[in-house]
Structure 1
Amino acid sequence: MTTIVVLGSTNMDLVAYVAHPPKRGETVTGRAFRTVPGGKGANQAVAAARAGGDVAVIGAVGSDPFGERLRHALEASGVDTDLLRTADGPSGTAHVVVDDDGGNAIVVVPGANGTVTALSPGDETLIAAADLLLLQLELPLSAVLDGAAAAHRHGVRTVLTPAPVQPLPPELLAVTDLLVPNEHEAAQLTGVADPLGAAQALLRQVPEVVITLGAAGCLHASRDCAPTVVPAPLVRAVDTTGAGDTFTGALAVALGEGRPVGEALRWASCAAALCVQREGASTSMPYRPEIDASFAPTHAPEDDTP
């Protein structure tokens, strides 16, 4: 079983469903509202655990009722929360607007996540025993760098999702093994709009890149092989919140199991396709039997070389 540690955020998603998102100064009427456990770190942890990984999370929740609910939700999906600390004050929140096309806009308020500025006692030991460390940018950058450096010292593969996007310091890129941005993040990081061009620019900084392309699938590029595009399954999206985290969590499991990259990407794409057909983030993430059932490698389309 793949052992995965996630150093990342845990938020309560406050989700409003609307026909179209409001413009500046506009008020719209929503059709539904839900509170859903989320946060990029927690989402990736849940996705990886449901996909069959042995997963632990490092981070923080608040001392409010949201904190208790967030911890319980992680544990209910099989995630080890022994090193998920409780900080005085509110938990992190994400204020999400989902439109009828399944698109979303999100405002994140860090809350307790902002207290995680470095590794704490026991964190490095946990990381050292893992196969992979998953990282995102909803924690302070100092903690992300601390975790990535610890993983690098112990030969643990690091997977970084650069979201919310921000300039990445060279010292973080130097200890990143796999970078997984979406196409918009890749463009912002490189100044190159074309995903293939962005991937080639990123390969000058990290050894391997997967750029997610939404309904178009994903682009894989590394210093060792030609870039390939893996198409996504054709589905009707209801809510795309959490799709990228589902993809990354499932991809980490597949890579940890030693699957070939193309197969791992197709399997992760199946997981993300299942996620977008349901409302919510962590609540929409599929379990391994569902992913396996939707994954048909003998009928999968061939990868396209750009």
Structure 2
Amino acid sequence: MAKTVYVLGELNVDMIAGGRDVTPEWNKEKLLERFNLVLGSSSAITAVVLAGLGLDVRFVSIVGDDALGRFCVDALTAMNVDTSRVVFDPSRATGVTLSLSGEKDRALLTYLGTIPLLQPEHLPEELYEQADHIHFGSYYLQDGMREHWKDVFGKARQQGCSTSFDTGWDIREEWLPESISELLPFTTLFIPSRDELTAIYGVGDEHEALQKLPAENGTVAVKRGSAGALIRTKDGLLLERPAYRITPIDTTGAGDSFNAGLIYAHLQGLSPAESLDFASACGAMATLRIGGASKAPAVEEVRSFMEEHTFAE
């Protein structure tokens, strides 16, 4: 029987504007090479990839009672994610992220809308009894839940349920290191990017940041983009990998796909090295498609990718 993952998250659309030069300039018009409207949000992309990997994924969120909200729910449903716990709020509009996607990186502009509205009362009663794993993304955008994650993860751990989260970028740049550190003892998988982790702890590199983490914490996986990724287990084992040798098309959702790969690997009981390689493959595959949730690879496809591609030197 497939493991059950509850994703408690933000939900929005991504409008992806792509080309060789996507940097806006005042009073000047530029032409794009591509434009796509796709399902967005860190939590949703992770959920879609988890479902593609064969897990029973149930999404808990809020969207506006509008066309974009229905687009999000329909897209999740089409990708085999259970959306019966998504609430439509007629008083607010669905959130939107505009992604300016260049050849090497991207910039994001977000209209919050319903993104920060999830509250503890929206969490289903059966959550702790049915979930094998609980995940959320965008710690800094989910204003309504930020003070409650410690309680949620604490209850989950009491029920033998594993947990994970991805911070995302702090648009206010407050970073809240004490709050993050307080949550980590209840977190099975902490999955920040290198830039996020170093900003949280105010240091120059990810290795120095790892030394700032509380003594009691679970596995930490740090996403480093084209430089690859690393994983440090709760026992202190540290492994690093370069990135897979590929030519990216769009980096949107790569980190969220990495999250899904790591969660899947954890639930399957893979070793730290196997988990890091599998997660890195999921992240790399995401860069070869437009929009992180446009396609979700099956486990066999990820395995084939790993056999056919080597790591960059």
Q: TM-score surpassing 0.5?
A: yes
Query: After superposition, where does 1:74-89 map in structure 2 within 5 Å?
Result: 74-88=76-90, 89=92
User: Is the 1:15–1:97 Cα contact (8 Å) retained in structure 2?
Assistant: yes
SS of the residue 2:35 aligns to: strand
Cα RMSD, aligned residues only: 2.3
Cα distance in 2, alignment partners of residues 15 and 93 from structure 1: 11
Match of 2:231 in 1: 220
Instruction: Give the drift of 1:87.
Output: 1.2
Q: Which runs of 4+ in 1 moved over 6 A?
A: none
SS of the residue 1:82 aligns to: strand
Cα distance in 1, alignment partners of residues 114 and 160 from structure 2: 29
Question: Which has the higher mean CA deviation after the structures are superposed, 165-174 or 80-89?
Answer: 165-174
User: Is the 2:184–2:218 Cα contact (8 Å) retained in structure 1?
Assistant: no
Instruction: Give the drift of 1:150.
Output: 3.4
SS of the residue 2:208 aligns to: helix
Distance 1:205 1:30, change over 3 A: farther
Instruction: Give the drift of 1:144.
Output: 3.8
Query: After superposition, where does 1:114-263 map in structure 2 within 5 Å?
Result: 114-120=116-122, 123-136=124-137, 137=139, 138-140=141-143, 141-142=146-147, 144-165=149-170, 166-168=175-177, 169=179, 170-204=181-215, 206-263=217-274
Match of 2:68 in 1: 66
AA partner of residue 299 (structure 2) = R
User: Is the 2:60–2:122 Cα contact (8 Å) retained in structure 1?
Assistant: no
Match of 2:102 in 1: 99
Cα distance in 1, alignment partners of residues 206 and 27 from structure 2: 34
SS of the residue 1:78 aligns to: coil
Match of 1:33 among 2, 21, 35: 35
User: Is the 2:254–2:284 Cα contact (8 Å) retained in structure 1?
Assistant: yes
Deviations 1:183-242 (A, max 9, x none): 100110112222222122225363321101112221111341321102321101111110
AA partner of residue 15 (structure 1) = I
Q: So what's the TM-score if we normalise by structure 2? A: 0.87
Match of 2:16 in 1: 15
Deviations 1:133-172 (A, max 9, x none): 1112232213544533432342311111011333141543
Match of 2:302 in 1: 291
Cα distance in 2, alignment partners of residues 40 and 26 from structure 1: 32
SS of the residue 1:85 aligns to: strand
Q: So what's the TM-score if we normalise by structure 1? A: 0.89
Question: Which has the higher mean CA deviation after the structures are superposed, 22-31 or 109-118?
Answer: 22-31
How many residues align? The count is 299
Cα distance in 2, alignment partners of residues 244 and 97 from structure 1: 16
Cα distance in 1, alignment partners of residues 113 and 149 from structure 2: 17
Cα distance in 1, alignment partners of residues 25 and 199 from structure 2: 23
Deviations 1:32-75 (A, max 9, x none): 22111111111110011112211111111110011111111111
User: Is the 2:230–2:276 Cα contact (8 Å) retained in structure 1?
Assistant: no
SS of the residue 1:116 aligns to: coil
Cα distance in 1, alignment partners of residues 110 and 149 from structure 2: 17
Distance 1:295 1:124, change over 3 A: farther
AA partner of residue 273 (structure 1) = A
User: Is the 1:118–1:142 Cα contact (8 Å) retained in structure 2?
Assistant: no
Match of 2:285 in 1: 274
Match of 2:93 among 90, 95, 104: 90
Cα distance in 2, alignment partners of residues 2 and 232 from structure 1: 28
Instruction: Give the drift of 1:300.
Output: 7.2
SS of the residue 2:160 aligns to: coil
Distance 1:300 1:23, change over 3 A: closer
Question: Which has the higher mean CA deviation after the structures are superposed, 162-171 or 5-14?
Answer: 162-171
User: Is the 1:271–1:285 Cα contact (8 Å) retained in structure 2?
Assistant: no
State the identity %. Answer: 27
User: Is the 1:200–1:221 Cα contact (8 Å) retained in structure 2?
Assistant: no
Instruction: Give the drift of 1:256.
Output: 0.4
Instruction: Give the drift of 1:10.
Output: 0.9
Segments of 5+ residues of structure 1 without an aligned counterpart are none
Question: Which has the higher mean CA deviation after the structures are superposed, 178-187 or 131-140?
Answer: 131-140
Cα distance in 2, alignment partners of residues 257 and 204 from structure 1: 26
